[in-house]
């Protein structure tokens, strides 16, 4: 079969999720031919994952009928033919609904195919002196073979129609001994690691991902973000994402010498270690930011507003955001006034209402509550939908309200009187107290998160749910 010249670079989806067949432009004349076998910029522009290959392998096959596979390896592969022609067969051996899906195609030097981790790869040469070449994004080692998943070339469920019957083909004894599909243990998905899993957001993520074996949770006793050793003792090749739910959030204490040191250690130095790990291992890093990166002069804050933090806490959060922004695969979820399982403003007000206390509450700081249930759901939405990387503002929906207005609603829903809450200015409230400066306007623009397809639930609706579900624990 003659080689077709001058085809345009093109991508073709296949029945196996993530497996994509590519047409490669081949230029030739009477002397021979030339092609761009791997061209990162053009191919990424066409949708190929930026899988960062580190090793190039070539399998030379002297005779037609040589058959190899079916091997699912713990890395991604970009496969093409250097010379000759092959019949390729690919079987999805990953955990999930597409397990067992099959795709076959004939490949010559004008084609290539991307095979994600866990998809079984096999080929049969259709011409003598065929060279099969592939880029991989991890270095081969003898230890890695223990992570392979295999399938028998003659498996009845896959029912691959080999052009040259296997009885007449050249096979290795190892390939002949591989198991049938019913005996194959699917390759598990790469893991997501949640750090800071004992905080308000961490607890919400634990509930959201309960029963999902692909998500691991780490808290400080087992994974100290501030020490490099914690990062050196984990095989990051088995992970695809890190969700950073850890933060130093003691706003006022951060203004003290000890608090300043702790805030910079957790919110900046630890984030730098996370970012370096994400860059080195091509991981997605999810990081949670704060309205405190802004001075609160603007009434509504868009994602691209310049940082103008007022205090140490805001400065450390802004520094952390700047670090995370250089990670190629990152999501920064910027929130305000977080409410979840643990000590927070709503819980405090509900306790005071139950005791009959009549508090004075700040009435000139405006914003919206962000419930951890919804922050966690957004994080999962961004990861699952593979949304565009970048920064996403998030709070629950509804009009901006002052802390005093929110406290009055908590009192009313708790059976007390709204009038029990007295509004005071920030200056009056913190008179004669050592306190960090606070932004007066914390309302975040939610247009981008809506454009990403996430439904933003009204703050009042979540507040009612929270008080009903949490009342017995107050």
Active site residues per annotation: 71, 134
Instruction: Tell whether omega for the bond before 465 is within 30 degrees of 0, i.e. cis.
Output: no
**Coil, helix or strand for 194?**
strand
What does the block give as tokens for 279?
């860059």
* Residue 466 Ramachandran class (φ > 0 left, ψ -120 to 50 alpha, else beta): alpha
| 86 neighbors 60 (Cβ within 8 angstroms) | no
Helix %, strand %, coil % of the chain (to 5): 30, 25, 45
Q: How many CB atoms lie within 10 A of CB 1?
A: 8
Rounded to whole angstroms, the Cα distance separating 376 from 337 reads 15
Of 398, 399, 419, 400, the closest CA to residue 408 belongs to 419
Q: Residue 230: which H helix or E strand, with range?
A: helix 228-232
**Residue 24 contacts residue 80 (beta carbons within 8 Å):** yes
- The rounded distance, in Å, linking the Cα atoms of 4 and 11 is 16
Strand partners, 79: 113, 134
């Amino acid at each position: 079969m003659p080689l077709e010249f001058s085809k345009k670079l093109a991508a073709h989806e296949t029945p196996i999720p993530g497996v994509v067949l590519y047409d490669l432009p081949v230029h030739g004349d009477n002397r021979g031919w030339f092609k761009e076998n791997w061209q990162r910029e053009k191919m990424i522009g066409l949708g190929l994952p930026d899988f960062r290959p580190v090793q190039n392998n070539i399998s030379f096959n002297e005779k037609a009928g040589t058959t190899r596979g079916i091997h699912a390896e713990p890395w991604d592969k970009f496969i093409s033919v250097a010379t000759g022609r092959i019949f390729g067969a690919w079987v999805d051996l990953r955990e999930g609904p597409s397990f067992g899906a099959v795709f076959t195609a004939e490949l010559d030097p004008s084609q290539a195919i991307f095979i994600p981790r866990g998809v079984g790869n096999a080929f049969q040469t259709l011409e003598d002196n065929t060279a099969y070449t592939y880029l991989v994004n991890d270095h081969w080692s003898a230890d890695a073979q223990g992570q392979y998943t295999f399938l028998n070339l003659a498996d009845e469920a896959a029912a691959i129609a080999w052009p040259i019957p296997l009885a007449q083909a050249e096979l290795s004894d190892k390939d002949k001994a591989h198991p049938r599909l019913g005996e194959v243990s699917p390759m598990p998905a790469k893991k997501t690691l949640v750090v800071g899993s004992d905080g308000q957001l961490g607890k919400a993520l634990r509930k959201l991902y309960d029963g999902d074996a692909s998500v691991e949770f780490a808290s400080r006793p087992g994974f100290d973000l501030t020490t490099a050793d914690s990062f050196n003792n984990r095989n990051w090749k088995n992970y695809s994402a890190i969700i950073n739910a850890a933060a130093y959030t003691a706003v006022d204490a951060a203004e003290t010498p000890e608090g300043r040191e702790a805030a910079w250690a957790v919110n900046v130095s630890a984030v730098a270690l996370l970012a370096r790990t994400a860059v080195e291992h091509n991981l997605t890093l999810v990081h949670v930011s704060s309205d405190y990166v802004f001075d609160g002069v603007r009434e509504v804050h868009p994602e691209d507003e310049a940082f103008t933090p007022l205090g140490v806490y805001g400065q450390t959060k802004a520094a952390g955001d700047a670090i995370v922004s250089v990670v190629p695969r990152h999501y920064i979820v910027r929130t305000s006034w977080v409410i979840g399982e643990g000590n927070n403003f709503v819980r405090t007000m509900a306790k005071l209402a139950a005791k009959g206390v009549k508090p004075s509450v700040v009435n000139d700081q405006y914003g919206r509550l962000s419930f951890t249930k919804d922050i966690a759901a957004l994080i999962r939405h961004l990861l699952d939908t593979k949304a565009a990387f970048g920064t996403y503002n998030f709070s629950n929906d509804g009009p901006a309200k002052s802390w005093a207005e929110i406290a009055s609603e908590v009192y009313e829903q708790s059976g007390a009187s709204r009038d029990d809450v007295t509004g005071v200015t920030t200056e009056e409230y913190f008179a004669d107290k050592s306190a960090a400066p606070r932004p007066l306007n914390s309302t975040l623009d939610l247009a981008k998160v809506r454009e990403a397809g996430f439904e933003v639930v009204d703050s009042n609706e979540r507040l009612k749910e929270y008080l009903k579900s949490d009342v017995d624990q107050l």
